[in-house]
Amino acid sequence: MTVLQVADLRFGYAGDTLFESVTFTLAIGERAALVAPNGAGKSTLLRLIGKEIEPDGGTAVIKKDTTVGYYRQSHEVAAEGDVLSAFMSGFRDIVEAREALVRAQHEAASGDAHALERLAHATERYHVAGGDALEHKVAAIAAKLGFESVDLARPVASLSGGERGRLHLGVILAQQPDLLLLDEPTNHLDLDTIAWLEGWLRGYRGAVLVVSHDRAFLDAVCPTTLELGSKGLRVYPLRYSEYAVARAEDLERERALAERQQAFVDKTEDFIRRNIAGQKTKQAQSRRKMLDKLDRVDRPEDVWALAERVSFRFAPAARSGDIVLDAKGLEASRGGRALFAGVDLLVRRGERIGVVGPNGAGKSTLLKLLAGRGDPSLDTGTVRRGTNLQEGYFDQHLGEVDPKRTAVEEVRRVRGDFTVEAARQYLARFRFWGDDPLRVVAGFSGGERSRLALAKLLLEPRNLLFLDEPTNHLDIPAAEILEEALVGFEGTVILVSHDRRFLDTVTTRVVSVRDAKVDIFPGGFSDWASSNKARDDKPKARDDRREKKAPKPEPAKAKSNAPPAALDEAARKKQHEAQKSKARDREKQQRRVKELEDLIAAGEKQLEAMRAKLKEDPAGDWAKLAELASEEQAVARKVDVMMAEWTKLSAGG
């Protein structure tokens, strides 16, 4: 059942069109990723769907009686009341019943008979409204989002920005709406919570539209990818990683088609110019009419082209000593809680170490200690620094950037020898064009501030980098370019991140901070994650074996009046039926695999024929050629989807 229908949507600011011709639908059970570079209008499109702003044209229609949950990056949670009340705020009747119950409990403390009677009525009303069951459900979601039972009584006003983000997400999830609009839901989540949210969304019954820069998250959650461009929307029935490959192939074919038509037009116009007044005037006039009627094939819009022009290049730096850091006995506590103790870490030149762990475990604190930025009154231990170090630090809170200055002024604070024009040219490498470098930083988006902070960091030679959540506000191309730059960096990197794809690409060693303990793993992130999963699965497997070996409880036998022989026969019959069902499923799967093989073979044969036709001379019928190119893309995507299903079924999934 379709719950969202977007048709020919158009929107812009101050007369400049941000996007137009946006059309798509979303049905119950569908999960789609909305992708584009920062500034393309993804959040604006969600706001249009959420009816917060009006479009300049077109419609975004949500089916009548459809409930909508909208998670915004701005974390709009009312500051009154406690955390539990905020989690339950989507259920007005239950919240009112809970408030009445709390008042009745306070009044009943006096022991007055009428007050006790009112407490009994309030308790009954809360129970009938389903308050108990909802509290259990909310408490389970809250726990997964990092709120312990004691936190549920905390005032919302006492929460940090990150905690408010997680609370806002929990409030939306607890309502379980028909349509979920999620704008960067993983920004304040740790690895454990992201994994839980992925599983929750995969099993979710409603429709989901997600904006995120977390590539691993998009791959895990969304089987469909929507690419937002200024001239429309491309729909790919593929996960993000597969979409990235398919779109590159589509663009290449579409560019080739546009270039072929342009070459035909240029050749025809040249013929017209040479012959319009000569002996072949009629032919020239005929060809001019043909050009007037020609459906022009536009060059395809590459929405990522400008975003990919970021240039993170490290200035050449001196070679550091082989031993970069030698940390001994590091210990830290915050708010009376021990974060870690007895940490020894030897860092060698060229290593790229990823620090991972849950929120609040002490990752940033450990990074600061290693960088010599710890709190001497709370932290102990020693960090011996190697020779010839040129250090740089990226703060996730972007404290290195002054919001009162312009981007040019920020650059010139580091490089006083730069003229204004030199600073602007340098900032252009980080996607600051036109008047952007002259804007005050306070008006920058999170992504712009991150790029500026990185631009400042790279102004001077560095051979040791400390990076705290460097990709938090970067869009996908910027994160990928930073990955490439760090992999080619000849110095040493210690970084904190929750971005699994980034960690997997960059890190050569992992430091895990969890439960007041620090573990050092000798391999990269994917090796650490595999090792961690295997360790977690072992106790479960042992428990399963114990459960299988455990004898059936005697009372269960006593309750049955059937003789043992009848029980054995029933058990055998049940087992036989289970085996038959399993065999039927296996046969069905094998038939589907064979069916997919035939369909894929037919599809590939069809693609081969279509691609051969695309190479032929269109004889001026460019509309037909464009239509064929569009059909070829659709068939190619269909084959990709079937290949993904075949791979999964063949592997026994």
pLDDT tens-digit series, residues 114-161? 888 888 888 888 777 777 778 788 888 989 998 888 888 888 888 877
Q: Which amino acid is it at 495?
A: L
Structure tokens at 310: 């970021």
Task: Count CB neighbours of 400 within 10 A.
Answer: 17
Whether residue 54 is predicted with pLDDT greater than 90 in this model: the reply is: yes
Task: Count CB neighbours of 550 within 10 A.
Answer: 8
Q: Which amino acid is it at 254?
A: E
Residue 365 or 124, more confident: 365
In the block, tokens 């010599």 appear at 372
pLDDT band at residue 597, thresholds of 50, 70 and 90? confident
Structure tokens at 394: 């990226």
Residues 414 and 459: beta-carbon distance below 8 Å: yes
Residue 651 or 332, more confident: 332
CA distance 390 to 388: 7
Whether residue 194 is predicted with pLDDT greater than 80 in this model: the reply is: yes
Structure tokens at 493: 């990197």
Q: Does a structural domain hold residue 65?
A: no
CA distance 477 to 485: 12
Residues 229 and 303: beta-carbon distance below 8 Å: yes
Average pLDDT estimate for 46-70: 94
User: Which residues, at least 6 apart from 502, have a Cβ–Cβ distance to it below 8 Å?
Assistant: 471, 479, 482, 483
How high is the pLDDT of residue 573? 67
pLDDT band at residue 63, thresholds of 50, 70 and 90? very high
pLDDT band at residue 34, thresholds of 50, 70 and 90? very high
Residues 289 and 306: beta-carbon distance below 8 Å: no
Residue 479: DSSP 8-state = H
Q: Does a structural domain hold residue 252?
A: yes
How high is the pLDDT of residue 558? 40
Average pLDDT estimate for 376-388: 93
Q: Which of 308, 325, 355 is the last residue of a domain?
A: 308
Residues 33 and 222: beta-carbon distance below 8 Å: yes
Whether residue 585 is predicted with pLDDT greater than 80 in this model: the reply is: no
For the chain, helix, strand, coil in percent to 5 are 50, 20, 30
Please state whether beta strands 68-71 and 57-62 pair in parallel, antiparallel, or not at all (unpaired): unpaired
Whether residue 552 is predicted with pLDDT greater than 60 in this model: the reply is: no
CA distance 649 to 643: 10
CA distance 31 to 225: 9
Q: Which amino acid is it at 544?
A: D
Q: Does a structural domain hold residue 577?
A: yes
Q: Does a structural domain hold residue 156?
A: no
Whether residue 551 is predicted with pLDDT greater than 90 in this model: the reply is: no
CA distance 34 to 222: 10
Nearest CA to 495 out of 525, 465, 527 is that of 465
Q: Does a structural domain hold residue 618?
A: yes
CA distance 566 to 316: 82
Residues 278-293: pLDDT tens digits? 778 888 888 888 888 8
State what percent of residues in the chain have pLDDT above 70.
Answer: 89
CA distance 150 to 520: 31
State what percent of residues in the chain have pLDDT above 90.
Answer: 45
CA distance 512 to 532: 10
User: Which residues, at least 6 apart from 532, have a Cβ–Cβ distance to it below 8 Å?
Assistant: 512
Whether residue 561 is predicted with pLDDT greater than 70 in this model: the reply is: no
3-state SS, residue 130: coil
The average confidence (pLDDT) of the chain is 85
Nearest CA to 315 out of 494, 427, 463, 478 is that of 463
Q: Give the residue numbers spanning the domain of 623.
A: 573-650
User: Which residues, at least 6 apart from 372, have a Cβ–Cβ distance to it below 8 Å?
Assistant: 383, 385
What are the CA-CA distances from residue 544 to residues 41, 199, 251, 538, 539 (Å)? 49, 22, 51, 10, 9
* Cα atoms in the Cβ-side hemisphere of radius 13 Å centred on 583: 6
Query: DSSP string spanning 281-325?
Result: HHHHHHHHHHHHH----PPPP-TTTTGGG----PPP-PPPPSEEE
Residues 604 and 561: beta-carbon distance below 8 Å: no
3-state SS, residue 156: helix
Whether residue 190 is predicted with pLDDT greater than 80 in this model: the reply is: yes
> Which residue(s) pair with 334 in the sheet?
337
Structure tokens at 436: 């952007």
Residues 78-95: pLDDT tens digits? 667 788 888 887 777 777
Residue 208 has φ and ψ, to the nearest 5°, of -130, 130
Q: Which of 257, 285, 308 is the last residue of a domain?
A: 308
Cα 350–chain centre separation: 29
Whether residue 14 is predicted with pLDDT greater than 60 in this model: the reply is: yes
Average pLDDT estimate for 59-73: 92
Structural domains of the chain, count: 2
Q: Is 523 left (phi over 0), alpha (psi -120 to 50) or beta?
A: beta
Residues 412 and 290: beta-carbon distance below 8 Å: no
Residue 27: DSSP 8-state = E
How high is the pLDDT of residue 120? 86
pLDDT band at residue 644, thresholds of 50, 70 and 90? low
How high is the pLDDT of residue 220? 95
Q: Which amino acid is it at 438?
A: L
pLDDT band at residue 510, thresholds of 50, 70 and 90? very high
CA distance 43 to 72: 8
Residues 423-466: pLDDT tens digits? 999 999 888 988 899 999 998 888 889 999 999 999 899 999 99
H/E stretch holding 224 reads strand 224-229
How high is the pLDDT of residue 360? 86
Of 72-76, 293-297, 429-433, which range is least confident?
72-76
Q: Which of 288, 308, 328 is the last residue of a domain?
A: 308
Residue 437: DSSP 8-state = G
How high is the pLDDT of residue 626? 67
Whether residue 64 is predicted with pLDDT greater than 80 in this model: the reply is: yes
Residue 634 or 77, more confident: 634
Residues 71 and 183: beta-carbon distance below 8 Å: yes
CA distance 362 to 377: 16
Residue 406: DSSP 8-state = B
CA distance 113 to 133: 29
**What is the pTM for the complete model shown?**
0.76
Average pLDDT estimate for 30-52: 94
Of 146-150, 288-292, 369-373, 551-555, which range is least confident?
551-555
Average pLDDT estimate for 518-534: 88
